[in-house]
Structure 1
Amino acid sequence: MKAARAPRWAVSFADLCLLLLGFFILLQAQNGRTDGLAAGLRSAFGTAAAAGEVARDLRFAAAGLFERDEAVLTAAAAERLRVIGTEARTKGRRVRIVSEGQGGGNARLDRWELAAARTAAIARGIRAGGLDEQAIAIAIPAISGPAPAGQAITVRIEGAR
């Protein structure tokens, strides 16, 4: 007596399910940093970045950009951000601002409000360079585990709009 054979499509379906599961695990492991995931997948498959796609990360300690315990940019920081915005506008780039961690608070703002206000101030500083606000994205990812000391802000200049 012959044993019953599974239909041929069942193997393909199982392969598809495992591939999707692996992909979603990769997405979850990236913790909202999809740019890193895309670059890693391109690298794994041996392909270069898409034509015209150039990304550059600028990382700042928030304490060095703002007046002490405030969301007011120093004059030097405001000028530097304006130059970044002008460069992004002239080259047709997008800017992504990622804020991680929190600074101290003050009498007006608690730690979360201060971190959010500082992130928005950086976006306004970049927009002062003439970059359209539609080309600016702000991200404040969830922190898992112990929060980093202080607030760090990454300004990522991405490929063409």
Structure 2
Amino acid sequence: MTAARSPRWAVSFADLCLLLLGFFILLQVRNDRPDLLSAGLRSAFGTAPAEGVAGATHQAAALFQPGEAVLTPAASAMLRGLGARARADRKALRIISQGSDGGARRFDRWELAAARAAAIGRAASAGGLAEGDIEIALPTTQERAGKGQNITLLLVPAG
């Protein structure tokens, strides 16, 4: 009596199907937000960009004076340099602000989140980047338990 042999090709075929499925999922996601997809893949493989460069997510509290939309001198210089680099590389800057800080003195949390994103745009513009090459997105201003406002800076193709 001989044992039934399983076809070896079935494993290779299953691997191929899973690889194709993953590839098509990545293609679909890439059409919507390629910058977020690439940032996520970089962080998954441990090659996330360092703080102070485009692609990094910053805590707003580290960039601004407490409860205000006024940049610290170091953050202002970093953002002017980022604007100059984006202009030289013919890139646009996408500013994505998520969350909000509840500890504002003069503003409510929505005004503070928007004013901070605008202040970052102004600083990049002071570095030479044209206003038309700056995009600001505020997908959510919901307060996230203890996380405050996070701001992601992405250099994307201009146009």
Q: TM-score, normalised by structure 1?
A: 0.64
Task: Give the C-alpha shift of residue 105 in structure 1.
Answer: 3.6
* Equivalence for 2:144: 147
**CA distance, structure 1, for counterparts of residue 132 and residue 149 of structure 2:** 25
- Per the TM alignment, residue 160 of structure 1 is displaced from its structure 2 partner at its CA by 4.2
Give runs of aligned pairs for residues 1-161 of structure 1, distance below 5 A: 34-36=32-34, 57-142=55-140, 147=144, 149-161=147-159
The CA distance in 1 between the partners of 2:128 and 2:63, in whole Å, is: 20
> Aligned to 1:114, what secondary structure does the other structure show?
helix
In 2, are the aligned partners of 1:88 and 1:94 still within 8 Å (CA)?
A: yes
Quick one: distance in 1 between partners of 2:88 and 2:157?
A: 12
The residue type equivalent to 2:56 in the other structure is L
Aligned length: 118
2:129 partner SS: coil
Compared CA separation, residues 38 and 107, structure 1 to 2 (3 A): closer
Identity, % of aligned positions: 42
Equivalent position SS for 1:107: coil
5+ long unaligned stretches in structure 1 = 1-22, 44-55
Q: CA deviation at 1:36?
A: 3.6
Question: What amino acid is the match of 1:125?
Answer: A
Q: Distance in 2 between matches of 1:101 and 1:38?
A: 17
On the 8 A contact 1:95/1:157 being kept in 2, the answer is yes
